[in-house]
Every structure is written in C-alpha cells, then in structure tokens.
Amino acid sequence: MADINHATDSAYSPEMDGPSHEATYRGFVTFVEIATGVVICWVLSLAVGGVREAWVSAIVGVVLGGVAGAIGALAPGIGWRAPAVVAALLALMLAFY
C-alpha cells in the first residue's frame, strides 16, 4: 500500500536528512551546468571542423572543452564559467576563422 503520511512539500520529516538532500541537489545542478557548457563546446568544435574545414582546431577545441569542464568541476568558484570561456573562443573562431 502507498504511504499517505508523508511530509509536505516544504518540510522534511525527522527521518530525512534535509541538509544532505539540499547538498546533493546543488551538486547535481552544478554538474548539469558544467556538462551543458562542455557539450556546447563540443558542438561548436564540430561546427568549426565542419564549416571551416579546420579539423585540427576542432580537436583542440574538444580537448580544451573537456579540460575546462574538469577545471570548472574541481574549482567550485569557477564552475560553468570555464567552459563558457572556451565556448566563446570557439564561437569567435567559427565567425572569423
């Protein structure tokens, strides 16, 4: 049977560890932000390779996107900004290369 005695949406029951749930959620959101930035870098790298025929630059962009994602994950103060810088450089490369 389903348990109908559950906590309301705004409160945790005494058995639940509220701070742990909140920390896990914040970590997940941070991971998704960084991963989205890395995927954007990879897509822009493929665009540079496909549109501009610069496949060596595209490979460098993929590697830089992955490294920037790792830096963003290891340095919480930087976070999604590291892949965003690489994405901006790749977008400029796509526009002016």
Q: What is the DSSP letter of 89?
A: H
Of the candidates 42, 25, 26, 31, the one whose C-alpha atom is nearest the C-alpha of residue 80 is: 31
Q: Where are the domains of the chain?
A: 35-96
Residue 8: band (very low, low, confident or very high) from pLDDT cuts 50, 70, 90:
low
- The per-residue pLDDT for 12 is 63
Residue 7: band (very low, low, confident or very high) from pLDDT cuts 50, 70, 90:
low
Q: How would you write 6-32 as a 3-class SS string?
A: CCCCCCCCCCCCHHHHHHHHHHHHHHH
Cα–Cα distance for residue pair 19/47, rounded to 1 Å: 42
Of the candidates 91, 79, 45, 81, the one whose C-alpha atom is nearest the C-alpha of residue 64 is: 45
Residue 78: strand, helix, or coil: coil
